[in-house]
Amino acid sequence: MEKRIVYAPVLIPDRPDSDGDVVTAEQIESWSHEFMALYRNVDLQHTLNNTAVPVESYILKEDKVVESFGKQISLPIGTWVMAVKVLSDEVWQKIKEGHYTGFSIMAVKRTVMDEVSAKGKEVEIPEAAIKRTTLKDLGTDLAVVFVSIVDEPAVPDATFFAFKSKEDTWFDRLKNAFSKTAKKSSEGVKKEEDTMTPEQFEQLLAAVGAINTRLDALESSSTEEVVKAEGEEEEVVEEVVEETPAEEVPAEETPEEEVPAEETEEEDAEALKAQIAELQSQLTQATKARSKKLVPQVTTEPTVVSKSKFTRDASGRRL
């Protein structure tokens, strides 16, 4: 089902209509509020037969440029913009075809409206009051009681600038939501990559190199201590076997291994490996973003040259 909603200016401050009449922003605001509160009539070509209903009405708080029928229109602060939902199939079709192009108002002297209201009847406009006249003829004390859909608006720029014809489905809304999220995400990644300076890039390289060197030293020290501990263990076992009778030598009296120290070193090594993996991930992203700007260019393998006697894989683990 189609929405059948069109947007257009109703009145534009300080912009003359076809009769040369000009209205102020203050007048427009007062008339628009009264119209929405009391009348809300939207007819066709000033025939007084309603063919649409207002669904939005607002006063511009800032200047706005819109496109209407292929041309740019500047709307100043104080412009009255209204959206209406068209009820007639025939009228909606002619709007889509470009036959009807915008809005025009019908105003009546306030004294006439006061007389009608005082009688307690529904608001009916006397025929004498609806003959074509200008705003200047009516004076300043008037009320806008109808907004008409017309083929030629009295204010040349009061033409349709937005149409809502298609009813959005749940899939359309979901697709639009994902599109906006993906766009924001890509913009965020691009901004993050662009914020890394050459100095920060060099600091990242130095950090990776320092951690690699420390990891090499830690693993080398750990290996030497393990070998040394195994040798001491063998010596102690031999001494115990020589001094103690065979029947009194329990297997569990061998010196305990220095497990806490080894576990601490292993934990340190794992922590350093995790840091290297994280830094190398950042380094890879930074290299892609800065490959054309940094001299000399840095390749992704290996990112740091360290003096190590061990061969390592891309994650920093010893082979």
**Each residue of 191-236: pLDDT tens digit?**
444 455 666 666 777 777 777 777 777 666 656 665 565 555 555 4
Rounded to the nearest angstrom, the gap between the alpha carbon of residue 169 and the centroid of all alpha carbons in its chain is: 21
Q: Which two tokens stand for residue 177?
A: 């939501």
- My answer on whether 220 and 80 are in the same domain is no
Which residue type does 279 have?
L
The per-residue pLDDT for 192 is 47
Let me know if residue 190 belongs to a domain. no
Let me know if residue 210 belongs to a domain. yes
**What tens digit of pLDDT does each residue of 241-258 get?**
444 444 554 555 555 555
Say how far apart CA 196 and CA 45 lie, in whole Å: 62
Three-state DSSP at 263 gives helix
Phi, psi of 82 (to 5 degrees): -135, 145
Let me know if residue 241 belongs to a domain. yes
Q: Which two tokens stand for residue 265?
A: 């070193």
- My answer on whether 160 and 216 are in the same domain is no
Q: Which two tokens stand for residue 218?
A: 């830690």
The per-residue pLDDT for 82 is 98
Let me know if residue 188 belongs to a domain. no
Sign of CA dihedral 302, 304, 308, 313: negative
Q: How many CB atoms lie within 10 A of CB 124?
A: 10
- My answer on whether 144 and 231 are in the same domain is no
The per-residue pLDDT for 301 is 47
**Terminal CA-CA length for the chain:** 67
Let me know if residue 11 belongs to a domain. yes
Domain that holds residue 268: 196-290
- My answer on whether 202 and 158 are in the same domain is no
- My answer on whether 126 and 250 are in the same domain is no
Let me know if residue 257 belongs to a domain. yes
Give the ranges where 38-167 is alpha helix by DSSP (H): 89-96, 110-118, 135-138
Full pLDDT tens readout for the chain, 319 residues: 789 999 999 999 999 998 899 999 999 999 999 999 999 999 999 999 999 999 999 999 999 999 999 999 999 999 999 999 999 999 999 999 999 999 999 988 877 777 766 665 555 555 544 555 677 677 677 889 999 999 999 999 999 999 987 655 555 555 556 555 555 555 554 444 445 566 666 677 777 777 777 777 766 665 666 556 555 555 544 444 444 444 554 555 555 555 455 566 667 677 777 877 777 777 777 666 655 554 444 444 444 444 445 555 665 666 5
Q: Give the count of domains, the chain.
A: 2
The per-residue pLDDT for 50 is 96
The per-residue pLDDT for 13 is 97
